[in-house]
Amino acid sequence: MKRNQRLALLMAASLSVASLSACAGSGGKGDASPSASSGGASASPSATATASASAGAAKAKKTIVFSTITNYYTAGLKQAAEDYQKLHPETTVKIDIVSDNTTYMTSFQAKMAAGGDDAPDIVHANLLGDTPAGNVKKGYILKLNDFISEPNPYNNGVSLRDGINGDYWPYAYTSDGDIFMLPFDLVGTGFYYNKDLFAKAGIAETPTTWEDLFADLQKLKDQKIIPLSMSQATGSDYEGWMVGAFEDWANRSRIPEIIVQPGDARSTPEVEAINGKIQYKADDPFFDIGAVVDAERTMALWKSGKYDLQGPAEQKIWSTLKQLSGYLQPGYATMKDADAYQLFISGKAAAYWNGSWQVGQLLKDQQALGGKGFEWGTFKFPGFKQADPNFPGAPRGILVPGHQLSVTNKKDADTVARAKDFLLFLYSPEEAQKVFTTTIDAGQFVQGPSLVKGVTLPDEVNAYLDGFKVAGNMNGQIGQIATGNPAAEPNATAELKGLELQYYNNKLTLEQFLQKKADFVKKTNEKYIADNQFDLDPKTNP
């Protein structure tokens, strides 16, 4: 996925969603940041600047690297890097821009496996491959348990824990109970639509069910309009979010079976405090917010065969997605997202499936189009018109921390300390506000509402972002029992996508596809079990 792993957790359950895995590492009080030691608990940015100027004269110059994806707050992050360097001339912050998520993940894993000297210092936790706990155990990124409670000198001593919206800290825990990332914003997925083209086809209201959506797409197709633009190419497979939402819908009643439980080897008081509140209710989409899932329990659930990988739920999921593929733009299997977006912004495609981060780009492009622009809006992932016991309640879609930032576990403690200090600076309300404002002005991705307390967005932006807000959030890991590839290996992701496209192009029947998918799940899940030495008893470790 080029941008589909912005979720961190986005997230995620299948195909590209599997690569929404996140990471972590180890760190603590011994890794005090330079600003924390020089600026004091209640130092203001100006006071810190004065203190750091003298400290910087005696401190060696060094560069830290913040690795991000094309247009991921790029303008705002570059501005933050410049602002930080004015306070800390001894530290250069390089914003390294990677073209797509697959490259990001494979590069990071390879560099860390080689010792980590050439790896970036600040990374997107949800773009690294493997699970958060897996990356912690490998020592690829730091645990931030103590760091988030340290006083932030750039925010009058207010810690990161208290300076970030507390509702979303539960997402920052690994299955071992460690903090692996700092949430910066929310991200959601949904449909953008061209109101003018919908009206031309006689569509007065946005669809809320799959049945109505297909009826509307057919009306658009009858008008010789491309009904829906969406990329499914390697590195930008946005359909994966739909797969994840469907699998969550079919399987979320089983989530209590895969969370860390008291007596488990990976249980901690912090995790028990979160998971102890979780009780499944079909009509409560928020029942599992922040649930800490155990990878071994997930694999044990798959192994139990409780969920039929070729049963009625899977048949309905994949029949629905195949029907949807009939309304996509020609060449969708290889078309990158940038080209899919151009079909929408040029008025050739009536709808466009993507994420909330495109709001900024759309606002900028509509302004540039002037009188040639069009009215547009958003609508959510649909439900089914008729109640289906295989899909209880309503679909949840994605609404999670999107910008999830972690610190790479480097041998050089000074580099680690500087990376942490820049994050403290970035998460101050004043600088975070500047990042959002600069990004919006540049027409780049603002993924969603800020989670840094004190940051506000323009009413126009919030109005569009509201269209992405869903009740609850899909659990990506539960989908692994049906889609496999828990380690988010790119080659495996491509293999499953290939099977899917064969099915869409009538080279495989539904029955043949589901059998081959079940074989794929068995292969990838068993490899994951072996690689992690799971005995499928969560009370032992591993």
Residue 397: per-residue pLDDT? 79
Distance CA 248, CA 240 (A): 12
The DSSP element (H or E) to which 513 belongs, if any, is helix 510-531
- Top-confidence residue, 34 or 144: 144
* 3-state SS, residue 432: helix
pLDDT band at 198 (very low <50, low <70, confident <90, very high): very high
* Domain 188-397+470-531 in the same topology as domain 53-185+402-452: yes
Bridge partners, 328 (sequence order) = 228
Q: Which residues contact 539 (CB under 8 A, 6 or more apart)?
A: 263, 264, 265
Taking alpha carbons only, the member of 315, 322, 466, 474 closest to residue 393 is 474
Handedness of CA 270, 273, 276, 277 (dihedral sign): negative
Distance CA 372, CA 361 (A): 16
pLDDT band at 11 (very low <50, low <70, confident <90, very high): very low
Residue 89: per-residue pLDDT? 97
pLDDT band at 129 (very low <50, low <70, confident <90, very high): confident
pTM confidence score: 0.75
What number of other Cβ atoms are within 10 A of residue 508's Cβ? 18
Distance CA 529, CA 542 (A): 10
Portion of the chain with pLDDT greater than 90, in percent: 66
Angle between helices 101-113 and 490-504 (to 10 degrees): 150
Residue 519: per-residue pLDDT? 98
**Domain boundary assignment for the chain:** 53-185+402-452, 188-397+470-531
The amino acid at residue 232 is Q
Residue 320: per-residue pLDDT? 98
Angle between helices 312-325 and 490-504 (to 10 degrees): 80
Handedness of CA 541, 271, 31, 186 (dihedral sign): positive
Range from 99-103, 333-337, 488-492, 526-530 carrying the lowest mean pLDDT = 99-103
Residue 289 has pLDDT above 90, yes or no: no
How does pLDDT run across 217-258, given as a tens digit for each residue?
999 999 999 999 999 987 788 999 999 999 999 999 999 999
Distance CA 288, CA 401 (A): 15
Rounded mean pLDDT of 330-354? 95
How does pLDDT run across 344-364, given as a tens digit for each residue?
999 999 999 998 878 878 888
Q: Which CATH number fits domain 53-185+402-452: 3.40.50.1100, 3.40.190.10, 3.40.220.10, 3.30.70.100?
A: 3.40.190.10
Residue 5: per-residue pLDDT? 35
Residue 172 has pLDDT above 60, yes or no: yes
Residue 291: per-residue pLDDT? 87
**Strand pairing report for 404-407 and 182-183:** antiparallel
pLDDT band at 445 (very low <50, low <70, confident <90, very high): low
Distance CA 242, CA 318 (A): 11
Taking alpha carbons only, the member of 285, 257, 239 closest to residue 14 is 239
Q: Which CATH number fits domain 188-397+470-531: 3.40.640.10, 3.30.499.10, 3.40.1190.20, 3.40.190.10?
A: 3.40.190.10
